[in-house]
Structure 1
Amino acid sequence: MPLDTLIRRSSLPCPDVDAAQAAEWLTTHYGLAGALKALGSHQDCNFRLDAGDGRRFVLKICHGDYATTELEAQHAALRHLSGVPSVRVPAVMPALNGDDLLTIEHNGKPVHLRLLEFIDGHSLAHVAHLDRHTVTGLAQLCAHVDVALAGFEHPGLERVLQWDPRHAFALIEHLLPVITDADKRACIAEAAEQAQAYLLPLEASLPTQAIHMDITEYNVVWSRDDHRRWQLQGLIDFGDLVRTWRIAELSVTCAALLHHADGDPFFILSAVQAYHRINPLQSEELLALWPLIVARSAVLVLGSEQQASIEPDNAYIQANLASEWNIFDVATSVPIALMEAAILNAVGEPEAADQESAFSALLPSLSGQAFTLVDLGVLSEHFVAGNWELGGVDERLLAEAAQRHGLAASRYGEYRLSRTLPDFAKEPDTFALHTELHIPLGTPVHAPFEGRLRLTADGALLLVSAEWSLRLWGVQCDSGSDAAEFDAGAVIGRSSGALIVQLCSEPDVSPPLFTAPSKSAAWRALCPSPKGLLGFDCDAPALADAAALLARRDASFARSQKYYYQAPPQIERGWRNHLIDMHGRSYLDMLNNVAVLGHGHPRMAQVAAQQWSLLNTNSRFHYASVAEFSERLLKLAPAGMDRVFLVNSGTEANDLAIRLAWAYSGGRDVLSVLEAYHGWSVATDAISTSIADNPQALSTRPEWVHPVVAPNTYRGEFRGADSTPFYLRSVEAHLHALAEKGRQLAGFICEPVYGNAGGISLPPGYLQQVYAKVRAHGGVCIADEVQVGYGRLGHYFWGFEEQGVVPDIITMAKGMGNGHPLGAVITRRDIAEALEAEGYFFSSSGGSPVSCRIGMAVLDVMEEEKLWENARVVGDYFKDRLLALIDKHPLAGAAHGSGFYLGLELVRDRQTLEPATEETTYLCDRLRELGIFMQPTGDYLNVLKIKPPMVTTRRSVDFFVDSVSRVLSELEG
């Protein structure tokens, strides 16, 4: 390899050409004129020309050191790819003399001129987070280009290029002195040495072809579609076109992706999968990929540092330096062997398992004795009432098991509940890559294989052979010297307490004791179960396949009963305002207005179990709790309300309220409000008008339902606090029409705070005037408090209190039972008894002893734990933080509601209030990735309906709002 040529080229500065000179050349050689803008480049000089009438071009100026045949190869490749439907590339524009390439003298040196079509769009270099759609799109482009170039031939492909990985290690060695910091220099040298060691045995097997060699976020042009997703527009800059290893193409793309990986090298795996599906890679290429990425990251850093030393004023290079150091840091943050295992696993080609190694027994004196395996997983019965949050709980449970049974052990490969991290954006490290044993003090510990023993900095004994390493914590070494040699079976020490055992097939790798679920398969390939040297099966049972379980649900559970998210995590546990999946990840619950006390509350379990052990039947039997609970509810209601119906749900409560209105008024016609949801029964669906819940809602209302204009003060027909008179017109018009037809009004139903639209307060005085008009026509007024009532608003226990009214009927459910099916209707005696003319009312489970006891326990806990006060105090803080988002983010249009019933409305334009529906969908999906459950509401699905358990803390509020702000920044970037 001509190393001197490579070194000379790596040190070339950009051609010194200003805009005036570029404009002159464009006029002279291309007959073009217009506005010029300098574009960044590593070693070329580029200008964008706006020639008017939508015509835009790029003038590329490069050193004469580059042979014309290399540039001609680029032009040939562009023409070759122009016929590929999946790849758009710029056209080459000829000069006035018909040539595609001009070579002229500038400052006594030759430079090459070319003019290319400009592809409009954006680079994603500035975008901090790239979603999976964008990552896979980039990788798919990479694969399509490689497939298209597989048969492309040109003499200019045989060139010496500093970015060609075949020359990477020679270039790294030459450029290392440019790094003045000795520690950084040593780090780069070590990384390069390791990468070269992994790569050398594979090089001869790597296929070669023509590749673009620079398919990165800088050279791929994108634009946002109507769904706010980035869509590919084209591929530019063929300056690094070369024949080299095919896998180098993907390595370049993946290295660039590390800048957007938020420190996680596994981020590239979806790109590898996407590429491999289109252009399948050989096993040797898959194994070479990560060493090439490491080498690429080192070359990037050294190349930019070298160029920055030559051109300290080159802003493009200076801006890239931090990015390239970040790429290097991420690329070297994990062992190469780990990433090789991860890449193979990602494409369904796991590394060939080592033959079962014949280990000697680690604890031969305990051979044949039974160990009690202690369940420390997500569903463990040992964990109750959040005790897993106590420090050292796993060790305590193991110690207690050992006291009872003699020998105890944790399970390898278990997702530990104690490792969960509430209000945390990243996956917690829950997967155990070790086993902990509780054995008698002084138990001899033997070497399971021949190796050298030494003590590590973290207090472990490390036994290393050519094939294995074994880490042991809790062993007192018998040898007085470090680095002692031991034969298999020799005693290396004695147990000094709990013994932690971790096996690794890569002797030079220092694995963690726990890893994140998404990394568990890769780490497991390196750190297998130690059961072979323990003599018993210490493995945790494999979790059921969540996707298969979802398929079973779809096959048996009617699919109109939807679930959140396309690929939802399997949730089997909850605690306070968090839900926990089977891998031990905690998700902040911002959806569950049912669990007012939070999930897993011990009082609920205790009260339900106690009452179930005594009696659970229906309310036609005589027992104390139904009377006691009814009395408690009436104490919460306004004066004059003296009758309670107990039911199972909000739907049942609203359905009953309609029947009561019919029976009391003698009429059938009901006024409801547009954009509202009241339930799923025939009657409650009839009065529900939310097109988000039912797209046919407005066209399928029965003739007895009369929707009035939604009094939405933010985006309604009339806006602001003084809009009440205008919204009353709709009510009056319906009342007048009914009166003219001689039809008796049954009633009016409305949420006192507009819950389905995101907690919007009704305009002042609205309900006072509507209630008066409805009653004047003989109808009853129903307050649907199912979502917004029962203390959730913080400043009001009932939503109707904000409007200063008293309804005739109150309906409620949701939080009454903290998840237990429980609802109620509260009204006056005269209305309640009007139903008797139609026969008696009965709900099979409504008002059961268990339901009543749970209902009273909820009220007790709300009072004891001051949850209503928490809704007011923390809710006010929450609202203030949401309001602050409006000043920071253009997409944040308004913050609605109060307490723990809040809404954040997203708009694209604050004047037209164009709903940001697609952005809201993206936001909710992205929040889930960050560990937060949130869903949109409203007719345009552009409002975050925020209704968390009433135990929500300021810490959770900050985590939520900071995460929303983070994602809004991504959307607005």
Structure 2
Amino acid sequence: MILNENVIKEWLSLYYHMDVTAEKASGYEEQNFLLRDAQGKRFVCKVSTGDTDLWFLSAQLEVMQHLAGLDIVQKVIPNQAGEGFTRIEKEDRKLFLRVLSYLEGDFMQDVQPEFENFESLGHQLALMDKALKDFVQPAAARYTEWDLARVLDCRDKLECIKDPEKRTMAAYFLLQYEMEVLPLQQGLRKAIIHNDANDHNVLLKQGRVSGIIDFGDMVFSQLINNVAIACTYAMFRQQNPLEVAAVLVKSYHEVYPLTETELSVLYYLIAARLSMSVCTSAWQRSRSNNPSHFVSEQDAWTLLYQWIKINPLKARNTFNLSCGYASVLATEPAYNSLQEERKNHVGKNLSISYQKKLKISRGALQYLYDDLGGTYIDCVNNVSHVGHCHPVLVKAMQKQLAKLNTNTRYLHDSLVNYAKVITASMPAKLKVCYFTNSGSEANDLAIRISRHYTRQKDVIVLDHAYHGTSTVAMELSPYKFDGPGGAGQQPFIHKGMNPDLYRGNYRYGDRDAGLKYAADIARIIEGLKEQKTGIAAFICETLLGVGGQIPLPEGYLKEVYKEVRKAGGLCIADEVQVGFGRVGEKFWGFELQEVEPDIVVLGKPIGNGHPLAAVVVTEEIAASFNNGMEYFNTYGGNPVSMETGLAVMRIIEEENLQQRALETGNYLIGALTALMQKHKLIGDVRGKGLFVGAELVRDRETLEPAVPEIDEIVEKMKERGFLLSTDGPLHNVLKIKPPMVFNIENASNLVAHLDEVLNAY
């Protein structure tokens, strides 16, 4: 029922003896009118429908009357019967009318707030909370979807967020609430709180808060939730949101002290409120066109993207220090002690990245946080394929681990289901899976299978290749056996040329380079024939990782596979580094070469860091391997691993991560190529999708490697918040293989900072 100004004037005259003008004002769920009497004094009239909970409406008025001593709270104007609201029946509808005093000021969302405004908001909110400390009103102990204590109910609305990147971020923060806040929730102080100090409910005048209005979301909940909500909206449209929140928290604490436990969860509560807001907006969008439902949506998303870049420990430390509590950041002596302990108890040949070591304490999709408060964009961890702590993956693993984890001696649906999902993504002849725990183990098994099938032992690999850490995998890896401490090349291992189009024998511009590099493999096979020796397998990565982030030349594998099969050998595609959509154009790297391997080895991204790997073979090869000796792997194929693998595949598809890799990768390669025109130190940019390398040289003619310059650049980029690493036979290739959730903004920032760093060279 839509009311007009004349009706309101009549009711106010009848029930309140007020002679006023009435002007329609905006409202969220109620109809609002601005009133003015003959003396120019203003009031607010609010009309709600019969659907209103009278018990709760009375409670709101009672709380406002309890807070009458605060000038930031509207006063309740009673009717002629002395009641806080008036019941009216019109056209068989029940309406409830109330009149409140008018507070001067501008809504916070309509101005550009200053720090003094945030100080005032913290101060005034604390006065309100302190006044309500011991106030009891049973109606406030209610269920409301806007109670942060019930934020996990928003998970039902996540599916309404259509953008997968945004949906994943909201789900991530809801997961963090479950992990970090929920266990502490019952120990947090509770009280009746306003629960909605948003920028539409806060009035500012002359540098201070002049009003906090609308108690419609009032609830009995954790006290710190009230602070979190106020911080959330205060940070809208701010370049340094954490600084704003710290100002508000400090001023609040000076009036009504917060505990360290409350401060420890504030970061996650702010994120939870933002997630609640965007989930609810998305849900309402599917049911309503009311613009009031979406008024904060864009600001909330902007702040979420800012918030995930802030280390939670840094936020907690900032809040602690603003309230006079001790720092929670790690200290350098603690680092030194940990490094000493590591030396004493862990093999010394396990290296640590970077000159100034990192202790990573948390992960968030494409971001990593250390225990000193730093945030880093992970530009190199291809193992965390769908992102660190991906909420869908975490939940899938938790659910199965809570239900069952055992070996494959028993029937289990997930084992078959995952094998079917994996083989469905491959050529039809690749139908049989064997599951292991690592890529190294999988490569070891692939070689064992090939040797059994062919009754031969010799294997052809590529120079500088790396296939893992098992004894057999080390024998396959010139990167290891030719390197420091290496055992040297075994007589049954044969090295083909690294098909490097930048510094190899055949280079860019040679249209036949692929065939020429393939001829080197044919040469090895011919030499084995002359020695009356056959070949078990040819194995290579379908894009070369340690070999220098190198896409294979056009036509290379097609020709190599033809020669290998002619000699009776098997063709093994090592997809451990590049599979699962990373190359963008295709799901598997071998598809870029238009070939079908006999054996495919999967690892690293297959489980997003969970120890899982696989060997996929043809039915014929599997039948040969089934020779009476059982293949049993205690952990390979266990239910948790299988559910993990299924979740990874589901996330890749549902979040369209292969397309993301294509688009972001194309942008990144293009931006790096443009940078090459400006900085002579970049000799070559190459890659596919989110598998990218930039080779640094001192001289583009001699191709002298830019070492140690590249190491300095990696360290400088790390100090700027970008984790990179080096690769290649000469250790002069910047490798960029980030989680697939890495986006164009991340890529743009990476290139911009790299540009600045390279200016010094």
Say yes or no: TM over 0.5.
yes
Partner of 2:355, secondary structure, is: coil
Alignment-derived partner of residue 173 in structure 2: 386
2:755 match: secondary structure: helix
Q: Deviations over 1:391-444 (max 9, x none)?
A: xx99xx99994426998679xxxxx99999xxx9x99879979965979x9979
C-alpha distance 385-528 of structure 1, shift in aligned 2 (>3 A): closer
Matched, 1:634 2:423: yes
Pair 1:704-2:492 in alignment: yes
Q: What is the deviation of 1:870?
A: 0.4
- Name the SS of the counterpart of 2:533 in structure 1: coil
Paired with 1:711 and 1:571, the residues of 2 have a C-alpha distance of: 36
Contact map agreement 1:906 1:943 (CA 8 A) in 2: yes
2:602 to 788, 809, 812: 812
The 1-side partners of 2:454 and 2:257 are apart by 86
CA contact (8 A) 1:668 1:704 kept: yes
More deviation, 609-618/426-435: 426-435
1:926 aligns with 2:716: yes
Q: Residue 819 of structure 1 aligns to a residue in which SS?
A: coil
Structure 1 residue 554: Cα displacement = 2.2
Match of 1:182 in 2: none
> 1:612 corresponds to which residue?
401
Q: CA deviation at 1:573?
A: 0.7
Counterpart in the other structure of 1:938: 728
Aligned residue number for residue 503 of structure 2? 715
Does residue 1:780 correspond to 2:567, yes or no?
no
RMSD: 4.2
| Higher RCO, Cα 8 Å, sep 6+ | 2
Q: Which amino acid aligns with 2:351?
A: K
Residue 626 of structure 2 is matched in structure 1 by 836
Letter in 2 for 1:678: H
What corresponds to 1:215 in structure 2? none
Determine whether 1:649 maps to 2:438: yes
Query: Which amino acid letter does the alignment assign opposite residue 546 of structure 1?
Result: Y
1:657/1:825 contact within 8 Å kept: yes
Matches of 1:758 and 1:899, distance apart in 2: 16
Paired residue for 1:797, among 580, 587, 598?
Answer: 587
CA distance in 1, matches of 2:255, 2:322: 24
> Which residue type is aligned with residue 385 of structure 1?
Y
Alignment match, 1:51: none
- Relative to 1, partners in 2 of residues 1:516 and 1:862: Cα closer, same or farther, differing over 3 Å? closer
Q: Secondary structure at 1:878's aligned position in 2? A: helix
CA distance in 1, matches of 2:441, 2:571: 17
Out of 860, 866, 885, the position equivalent to 2:650 is 860
Alpha-carbon separation, structure 2, partners of 1:419 and 1:937 = 45
Counterpart contact for 1:409–1:435, Cα < 8 Å: no
Partner Cα distance (2:390, 2:233) in 1: 18
- 3-state SS in 1 of match to 2:684: strand
Q: 1:719 to 1:399 in 2, by over 3 A?
A: same
State which drifts further: 922-931 or 560-569.
560-569
Q: More deviation in 665-674 or 555-564?
A: 555-564
Work out whether 1:596 is the aligned partner of 2:385.
yes
Give the match's secondary structure for 1:783: strand
Task: Call closer, same or farther: CA 1:429–1:655 in 2, change over 3 Å.
Answer: farther
The structure-2 alpha-carbon separation of the partners of 1:407 and 1:821, relative to structure 1 and needing over 3 Å to count, comes to closer
Of 743, 748, 760 in structure 2, the residue corresponding to residue 953 of structure 1 is 743
Residue of structure 1 in register with 2:359 after alignment: 570
CA distance in 1, matches of 2:255, 2:662: 58
1:665 equivalent in alignment to 2:454: yes
Identity over the aligned pairs, expressed in percent?
34
The one-letter code of the counterpart of 1:922 is: E
Structure 1 residue 403 and structure 2 residue 190: aligned?
yes
Counterpart in the other structure of 2:37: none
SS at match of 1:870: helix
Q: Which has the larger radius of gyration?
A: 1
C-alpha offsets along residues 664-708 of structure 1, whole Å, 9 cap, x if unaligned?
Answer: 0000000000011110100111011126994355x6111110111
TM-score by length of 2: 0.60
Q: Give 1:728 shift.
A: 3.1
Could you tell me how far apart the structure 2 residues matched to 1:812 and 1:911 are? 38
Aligned AA for 2:711?
T
Secondary structure at the aligned position of 1:385 is classed as helix
1:746 to 2:536 alignment: yes
Over 3 Å counting, the alpha-carbon distance change for 1:528 and 1:734 in structure 2 is: closer
Aligned counterparts of 1:515 and 1:611: Cα–Cα separation in 2: 30
Which structure 2 residues correspond to residues 296-307 of structure 1 after superposition, within 5 A? Answer: none
Instruction: Give the residue type in structure 2 aligned to 1:841.
Output: Y
SS in structure 2 of the partner of residue 660 of structure 1? helix
Q: How does 1:91-490 map to 2 (within 5 A)?
A: 385-386=172-173, 401-403=188-190
CA distance in 1, matches of 2:455, 2:436: 23
- The corresponding residue for 1:324 is none
Q: Secondary structure of the residue that 2:478 maps to in structure 1?
A: coil
Tell me, in whole angstroms, the C-alpha distance in 1 between the residues paired with 2:586 and 2:407: 33
SS in 2 for 1:884: helix
The one-letter code of the counterpart of 2:172 is: A
Shift of residue 520 of structure 1? Answer: 13
Paired residue for 1:585, among 369, 374, 377? 374
- Correspondence for 2:673: 883
Letter in 1 for 2:382: N
Aligned-residue offset at 1:385: 1.4
SS at match of 2:738: coil
Normalised by the length of structure 1, the TM-score is: 0.48
Q: 1:901 aligns with which of 687, 691, 712?
A: 691
The alpha carbon displacement at 1:585 in A equals 2.0
Cα gap change, 1:443 to 1:834, in 2 (>3 Å): closer
How far does residue 885 in structure 1 lie from its aligned partner after superposition?
1.2
- Quick one: which of 835, 845, 848 aligns to 2:638? 848
Distance 1:520 1:438, change over 3 A: closer
Rounded Cα–Cα distance in structure 2 between residues aligned with 1:389 and 1:889: 42
Amino acid at match of 2:190: Q
Contact 1:427-1:585 at 8 Å conserved across structures: no
By how many angstroms is 1:528 displaced? Answer: 7.7
Match of 2:467 among 672, 678, 684: 678
**1:521-560 pair list within 5 angstroms:** 539=326, 543=330, 545-560=334-349
787 and 517 in structure 1: CA distance in 2 versus 1, 3 angstrom threshold: closer
Find the aligned partners of 1:665 and 1:638 in 2 and give their Cα distance. 22
**Distance in 2 of aligned mates of 1:398 and 1:608:** 24
Q: Secondary structure at the match of 1:875?
A: helix
Q: Which residues of structure 2 form unaligned runs of 5+?
A: 1-126, 135-147, 149-169, 192-219, 226-230, 259-309
Deviations 1:626-682 (A, max 9, x none): 000000011001121110111111111111110011010000000000011110100
Query: For residues 888 and 791 of structure 1, do their structure 2 counterparts lie closer, same or farther at Cα, with a shift above 3 Å needed?
Result: same
What residue identity is the alignment partner of 1:800? Answer: F
